[in-house]
A and B are shown apart, each in its own frame.
Chain A
Amino acid sequence: MTGGRAFKSGRELLEEQAWDSALRCVQCGYCLPVCPTYCSMGKESASPRGRINLVKLAAEGKVDVLQDLSEPIDLCLGCRACETACPVQVPYGHILEAAKEAIVAERAEGATWEERLRAGILRHLFPYPRRLRLAGGLLWLFQRAGLHSLLRNAQFLAKRAPAPFHLGTALPRVEAPFRRMRRGSLLPARGPKKGRAAFFAGCIMDEIFHGVNRSTVDLLRHVGLEVTIPKAQRCCGALHAHQGMRAQAKRLAKANICAFEASGAEVYVNNAGGCGAMLREYDRLFQDEPEWRERAARFVEKIRDISEVLVHYGPPTYRKAWEGVIVYQDSCHLRNVQKVVEEPRQLLRSIPGAVYVEMEDSDRCCGSGGIYNLLHFEESIKILDDKMKVVAKTGASTLVTTNPGCHLQMRLGAERRKGSAPLRVRHLVEVLAEVCLE
């Protein structure tokens, strides 16, 4: 792995970016009980404290980045529950990203086809809205043609099929391309105008959950905001940062900062916990570019989750009642990174007719972890099945989430409990749209 490369080695990257942070860990273990992978795998290399220790050792050259560090890091969900439990505020998210970057740097040469495919998708598909739209269109055609349900019923395949197959069956029906909202236009507020919101559409949200995006915009208008969907916006870059592709993440961040600055809006609203978390940490990407760091900091200040905006400008007026028990599963990144905990609950509790029940361990990751479920299907399913048992205890008929990754994962969970009472999985916005909008 030498060969006179001009790039920094993984070890050097770690020493530069993560060593100091890792040294802050006092190994008190306070993060152990909240870490889903430590609880499900039962060993320290799958605990936050264990991972941080290995990063430290790798930075010191005592263990190898690829041979020893990569697996424990790959098996982390990135849910960042550990950060909320840490009494000394070890910046785990930062350490994790640095570790991913170091692993990518070391792997570059000996990448497997899977890794290349993943990197290729992230590099060539997500940054480009048009290509994404094309992919989304294809997915729609595929579902229209009935191939989707064919797959769903092909039980014989399920036994040996890889993770993408299982998750594929959990996909909701996507909307026809011609029904999508146009970007760039300014949509007026309903009733007296209270301000302007710029909407961050997000790539997965926009392709797979376009209906949620439409409802988000409608709800924003419903509480008196005019809405613009900046045309030049791009993917938030979270997937890239989490897969160690920092340079791409920075490029996307710059594009988004420019696009939203130009919108003239008071708040930049998104509805995906994971994207929002990334957007809220843009300033950290630019430690070495002071001018951008400042612009990013101003951008960050305006980022809001849809639930915060609806509580602040609302409350929305309800037209209809909801039936049955609703439970809420926190999006880890909404809760642990964005620290939005109460607003979604407050909104759900206020829905007439609905019985809101606080689910045990609602703050514990569902095992989706960005694209963790794609990469580590078995580990993820173990965590998911535990989650579904807790859901079953509540007698809920509706399970609410606030992030597309969690949404798909929970749909998969609902599918897997065939036989028990049906469970609707909804984005918070879908539930609110149903009871608030015409």
Chain B
Amino acid sequence: MDSNILKEIEGIFPKHRILTELSERYSYSFDASFGQYLPELVVQPQSVEQIARLVRLANERRIPLYPRGSATSLSGGPLPVQGGIVVDMSQYPKRLEVDRENLLAVVTPSVITAEIHKKAEEVGLFYPPDPSSSHVSTIGGNLLENSSGPKGLKYGTTKEYVIGMEVVTPTGEVIRVGGKTVKNVTGYDLTRLIVGSEGTLGIVTEATLRLIPRPPARRTLLAHFPRLKDAGYAITRILSSGILPAAMELMDNACIRAVESYRPHGLPTDAEALLIIEVDGHPAAVKEEIRRCEELCLLQGAGGCRVAEDKAEREKIWMARKLVSPAITRMGPTKISEDATVPREKIPEMMERLKRIREKYQLQLVVFGHAGDGNLHPNIIADERNREEMERVEKAVGEIFEAAVSLGGTLSGEHGIGILKAPYMEMELGQEGVMMMKKIKEAWDPNHILNPGKIFPTPGQTKVVLR
């Protein structure tokens, strides 16, 4: 880094908040996707003023900035792909205040999501967005990726719970968007614009979140199906019967077998699919609903169905789902996690397409995910060092995206575009659609300072997993 610029940066941050050594910089060169990009510098801001000054300097000197939370992004969100400075937001002073009367929480971006769950629960409230990484990821990362988890089906994603933010814009102004009220129609909804913008439109320094009362009861069931298609039909049947479960998770046969060989759970390894269904709400309603779900599964050809009797059994059911991720990583060193999403009645069809892609490219492709909202997680397990295999992966990923989009779905339900899906943006949005988004980016960030190289493909970028 230019020594004059470094001097100016030293005027903004105390020395120990500027990391310059090679070992330090390499330690911010990755996230949970793959690819490694060495930043020139890492800073750890402690105040909104520091960030505003840094952004203004970056505009003057045209230095790219990359906000970073816990770097659990699966799409390359925080990677410093064009050199410049990583802005480590994970060490930003942590503040988490729950306002019980107004059902609100005010947080700084470095707070770990699970802390919000815990604090809310302590006073009988509930913060629903529950990505499985919630004990590691920052709320800042969740906001900017618009993350969600199994409960997205009933409760929606992060964006449903953010009502206000303090943001440093890409040109260095500090603005407040939204407010402290759930209803707010004053002008454009900038809050929603910034949520899910992957750090390309501003650095978030505070957020006001909406909490809801905690549902008093919940019940969970596990059903297995000899035929995958029937699992798909069971989902639509339940949802059209007037029940809205809190979660509906699907595991395909490859996942079942992976979990069983990793840590035996007594799952039927010959079933083509498993469904985990959870309902929550008033105890009496929950009891009736879970019974109805069980009935519908059996009517739709489930080979067996079991409702958890107590907490231990419920946890055991969820453990099977949680183990999918680690269990499948044992199949090979490189895991390509996609999260293409389709309208839910198209799930059986999407599963059929995925099966054909697996056979065509002879890959280890397994499918699990939040089937209730159509958010599937096709995962390909491969070996990055095997070039020939990675070429097949590249093609398969392209076809997965095509399949999702042609069924009226989307490239990503929750992991974001980052760099990994950027080349396919046009396929889903069309040239004009991408253009409108680019115009917004241009207007906010005329000098392309903030998180360049994300969402929009850089010219010539066509590959997803190959480098």
Contacts and interface: CB of A to CB of B under 8 A. Distances in A.
A30 interface: yes
B300 to A, nearest CB: 33
Nearest to B22: A68
A68 B23 CA distance: 5
A132 to B, nearest CB: 37
A6 interface: no
Given A23-B333, A43-B19, A29 B26 contact: no
A42 B91 contact: yes
Contact of B31 (A27, A57, A69): A27
A63 B135 CA distance: 31
A45 interface: yes
A33 interface: yes
A47 B26 CA distance: 12
A23 B70 CA distance: 20
Given A42-B44, A44-B27, A72-B23, A29 B326 contact: no
B389 interface: no
Contacts of B135: 30, 33
Interface in A1-48: 23-24, 26-30, 32-33, 42-45, 47
Q: Which of A27, A29, A62 has the most CB of B within 10 A?
A: A29
B329 A33 contact: no
Contact of B333 (A24, A50, A54, A67): A24
Interface residues of B, number: 30
B21 A68 contact: yes
A71 B71 CA distance: 23
A123 to B, nearest CB: 29
Interface in B8-44: 19, 21-24, 26-32, 44
Contact of A63 (B22, B90, B335): B22
A88 B325 CA distance: 8
Nearest to B33: A27
A43 B24 contact: yes
Among A23, A28, A47, chain B packs the most CB atoms within 10 A around the CB of A28
A69 B24 CA distance: 10
Given A32-B136, A87-B329, A27 B30 contact: yes
Contacts of B364: none
A50 B21 CA distance: 14
B82 interface: no
Contact of B27 (A24, A33, A43, A67): A43
A380 interface: no
B269 interface: no
A29 B23 CA distance: 18
Nearest to B90: A42
A24 B332 CA distance: 9
Interface in B87-103: 88, 90-91
A87 B326 CA distance: 5
Contacts of A63: 22-23, 26
Contacts of A28: 32, 72, 133, 136
Interface of A: 23-24, 26-30, 32-33, 42-45, 47, 50, 53-54, 57, 62-63, 67-69, 71-72, 87-89
5 contacts: A42-B90, A44-B28, A45-B27, A63-B26, A88-B326
Given A24-B329, A68-B26, 7 more contacts: A24-B333, A28-B32, A43-B24, A44-B24, A45-B24, A45-B27, A72-B23
